[in-house]
Amino acid sequence: MANGVWHTKYGIEINLTRADLGNPGREGLLEEITQPSGQRARDLLQCLKDYRGGQCQCALDGKSPWMFVRRQRQNGTVTWVAAHLPLTHVATPQESDKHKAMKERIARTAARHGLDVQTEARSEDGRVITDVLVTGAGARIGWEAQYSPISASTVRRRSAKARARNIAPLWVTADTASALIDRAPWARVDDVPWQRIISPLALIIRGGVRHLQIWKCTPASERPCPETGSACRKWHSGWFLPALCLPQERATALDELIVTSADGEHLPLRSRNREDPDRTISYLWALARDVQRWREITGETGTPPESGPADDEPVTYTEQELDSSCRYGEEGPHTSSPRPRRETVSAIGLHTFDHAPDHTLLQPSRPIALRLTPRERLAVAAELRCPPWEIGPCMLCATPIHRYGPRSPKACPTCRLTSQNQ
């Protein structure tokens, strides 16, 4: 990371390692340069090497020499650093249509179940806008439909602002490589056309919702020991996707989570993942009953601390000489392609203990069932071109399918395809 930038408006060099930024007498300079890039001119801060006529590697890569300033913790201290701005992504027409369709579906579902709904809900100062704010008896949920690329810092900043307003953020995406995954409470659905999003057919949540599993590690266990590979005869607990639960849990539909998250039946949770040291925190949504079980077993009552520096954490000024070299390439990747898959199945938050939990903690959660109103059943039947009485749940994810007709399958096409690929 660079320790200095060029201020294009004032024509001055800024040294981020000095308390006065190398410009004594300029009050408010720090507040100005640390504003989010969306609230100031994008070309306000420039790479020093590019300004001095050198070769800025970022500009040579076809991007830009413009920069932003943020906090960074290193060796136990927090400092200001400068990094190159990523390219601004303009949503494609397809992304915009999907974004609008998802907002409409969330608002429509919440209103149909008697919840208070606000679309494009603004904060008191008008500076923060939530796609859809759903208020129920249990919580205020700020839904953010994200179909275009977004940076991790933006997700964290907007989620923190939502929590400050007593709103639980919930980001929904269709991209397994989205930077929002495990940066805030999230849910992933299938990537389908906007017409399918707005239709009455179920949208199954494929990631972001998990169930608590508790088992005794014996030679007869269906799961291998996650620690030794052989039976350790201890007890284990962890968070698993519905399809990996034993016995298998039914998947959660998007419309269901819209209601249950506001009613408090589903709760957001941050779980430590000991199997993945690069991402020690996993975000998930879980049944309130499972969360209570987890707290009784682990003794944890709160949530793990954030790994990044807090906004009120003091900054250390090291008083170094201004470095005009371009540090692009040391700042971490900003490009959106190719993007690695961020969603993993290993984020289970494993916990091992010696004594058997209370028997009530071992009871199964929910059977596979279909929840449709008569009107919804008629709409689904019309979509699938079958009699309403032949509509039934997919045996794997509970999405409505033509289940009971002649030669009808027991699983939906997506689940059958997934099973064939495994």
- Stretch 9-24: mean pLDDT, rounded? 92
Residues 115-151 have pLDDT tens digits of 999 999 888 877 788 999 999 999 999 999 999 888 7
Is the predicted pLDDT of residue 414 greater than 60, yes or no? yes
Provide the 3-class DSSP secondary structure of residue 322: coil
Can you tell me the distance from the alpha carbon of 140 to that of 121, in angstroms, rounded to the nearest whole number?
12
Q: What is the pLDDT of residue 90?
A: 60
Q: Residue 324: CB partners within 8 Å, gap ≥ 6?
A: 4, 48, 49, 52, 54
* Selected residue with higher pLDDT from 342 and 338: 342
* CB 238, CB 358: distance < 8 Å: no
> Which pLDDT band, with edges at 50, 70 and 90, does 322 fall under?
confident
Can you tell me the distance from the alpha carbon of 147 to that of 33, in angstroms, rounded to the nearest whole number?
29
Residues of the chain with CATH 3.40.1350.10: 93-209+251-303
Instruction: Identify the weakest region by mean pLDDT among 24-28, 267-271, 272-276, 380-384.
Output: 272-276
Q: What is the pLDDT of residue 280?
A: 61
> pTM score > 0.85 for this model?
no
Residues 241-292 have pLDDT tens digits of 988 888 888 889 999 999 999 999 999 998 776 555 445 678 899 999 899 8
> Which pLDDT band, with edges at 50, 70 and 90, does 104 fall under?
very high
Alpha-carbon dihedral sign for residues 285, 287, 289, 290: negative
Nearest to 278 by CA among 307, 298, 241, 250: 307
Q: Is CATH 3.40.1350.10 the right assignment for the domain spanning 93-209+251-303?
A: yes
- Stretch 68-92: mean pLDDT, rounded? 76
* CB 326, CB 55: distance < 8 Å: yes
Q: What is the pLDDT of residue 334?
A: 40
